[in-house]
Structure 1
Amino acid sequence: MRKLLFVVIATFSLGVTAQEENIRFGAKAGLNIANIAGDAVNGISSRTGFHLGAVVEIPISEKFAFQPEVLYSAQGYTMDETVFGIRIEGTTKLDYINIPLIAKYYVVKGLSIQAGPQVGFLVSAKGEVKTAGIEREEDIDDFYKSVDLGLGFGAGYQLDMGLFFDARYNLGLSDINDVDGDDDKNQNAVIQFSVGYKF
């Protein structure tokens, strides 16, 4: 059993070594259409934001690759309601450092389908409210958990020159709320469109 384990490890190591010269580093940026899913989401709409960061693509075989990323991602949601004749516009800004660990399968040259887990670290949470011409913004970090777990899946196309395009949906798996006595559970839900370049 030990010999078999060593053989598997050695074989994998040789495969990685053979692919090292093809490892590509790069950067990406793009559009977020962010929202939340779960309980009590009536009247909630998407927040338009952005993401940017670094990627590295590690080939495993001709068809498979592993792509870890580190991204700053502006997420959250908006609301627009009228209460007792008074219009209330609100934006909840939830900004994360996300680390997706993406597995890629190349269907044909350049075209890949992608999926993998993601962990996010909340770096800023602010609530912005506008009513009767008055705007106010407050820190709301205490109402949201500092770590978010999710799953990303989508597709991408990469040109030989290094330019690439991705479309991805990030589905939150963990409750982002951190309010005592509140049984509502909500998850992040983010659509991303990216453009990037690998060296």
Structure 2
Amino acid sequence: MKKSILFIAAMVFSTTFVAAQEFVYFGVKGGVNFSTFSGDGFSDFKDESARTGYHLGLLAEVPVSDRFSVQPEVLYSAQGFDLVRREDNNDVEHQLDYITVPVMAKFYVFDGLALEAGPQFGFVVEEAIDFGSTEIERYDNNRNDFDLSLGLGASYKFNKFFLYGRYNAGMTDIYDVEGVEAKNSVIQAGVGLLF
């Protein structure tokens, strides 16, 4: 699994580097996640709410023209969701942490402001269920290790810094369970620095 993640990351970065060696910009980014799930089938729970987490990683921006760029990234992203039990109202937090590889197409509306869209490939690297003061590591055969999402967002670049916001809509189910549809739904906001 870890070899697959490293291979994908290396391929994305090496391909963009070779394709536009003179024009590629590298950078770092990080910020906050507000993640939950969309779907149905969890009849024992209600009032799903966002898990507040973080994301942190590396990126490369490859200008294709004056107004269009491709931006591959490799991020560690703390995701998951909160659920409230109906019978006793105890908060349950399902922590699902991913290595994500977004590949965003960026269209610059005007100098500095860009709209972004593209696929994101995610690989589960850590999982836990937190029942208040009790945390259980979980390795569930019914949970999918791979996640495909569609990212939509915007960024504003000034000098070497940029601010961004993005919504990642899950396209694949988190669980492989009949009658349960649960997909990742993540809002991200943060700041980055280009070198």
Q: TM-score range by the shorter chain?
A: 0.7 to 0.9
Q: Which residue of 2 aligns with 1:173?
A: 171
Q: Distance in 2 between matches of 1:26 and 1:18?
A: 18
What code does the residue aligned with 2:171 have?
A: L
Q: Does the 8 Å CA contact 1:122/1:147 hold for their aligned counterparts? A: yes
Q: Report the TM-score when normalising by structure 1.
A: 0.82
Q: Does the 8 Å CA contact 1:126/1:141 hold for their aligned counterparts? A: no
Alignment of 1:70 onto 2:68: no
1:46 to 44, 47, 50: 50
Q: Which residue of 2 aligns with 1:183?
A: 179
Q: Which residue of 1 aligns with 2:138?
A: 139
Q: Distance in 2 between matches of 1:18 and 1:80?
A: 49
Q: 1:105 to 1:76 in 2, by over 3 A?
A: same
Q: 1:150 to 1:159 in 2, by over 3 A?
A: same
Deviation at 1:87, TM superposition (A): 3.5
Q: Distance in 2 between matches of 1:183 and 1:77?
A: 19
Q: 1:136 to 1:52 in 2, by over 3 A?
A: closer
Matches within 5 A, 1:111-126: 111-126=113-128
Q: Which residue of 2 aligns with 1:164?
A: 162
Larger Rg computed on CA atoms? 1
Between the aligned residues of both structures, percent identity stands at: 41
Alignment of 1:55 onto 2:59: yes
Deviation at 1:143, TM superposition (A): 3.3
In the alignment, structure 2 segments of 5+ residues that lack a partner are 1-16
Q: Does the 8 Å CA contact 1:127/1:140 hold for their aligned counterparts? A: no
Q: Does the 8 Å CA contact 1:29/1:53 hold for their aligned counterparts? A: yes
Q: Does the 8 Å CA contact 1:125/1:141 hold for their aligned counterparts? A: no
CA RMSD of aligned residues (A): 1.9
1:81 to 80, 85, 90: 85
What code does the residue aligned with 1:52 have?
A: L
Q: Distance in 2 between matches of 1:147 and 1:136?
A: 23
Deviation at 1:174, TM superposition (A): 0.6
Q: Report the TM-score when normalising by structure 2.
A: 0.84
For 2:50, what is the secondary structure of its paired residue?
strand
Q: 1:173 to 1:17 in 2, by over 3 A?
A: closer
For 1:143, what is the secondary structure of its paired residue?
coil
Deviation at 1:88, TM superposition (A): 1.4
Report Cα offsets for 1:54-92 as digits up to 9, x if no partner: 000000000000000000000000123351xx3412100
Deviation at 1:47, TM superposition (A): 0.2
Deviation at 1:22, TM superposition (A): 2.7
Return 36-45 or 71-80, whichever deviates more: 36-45
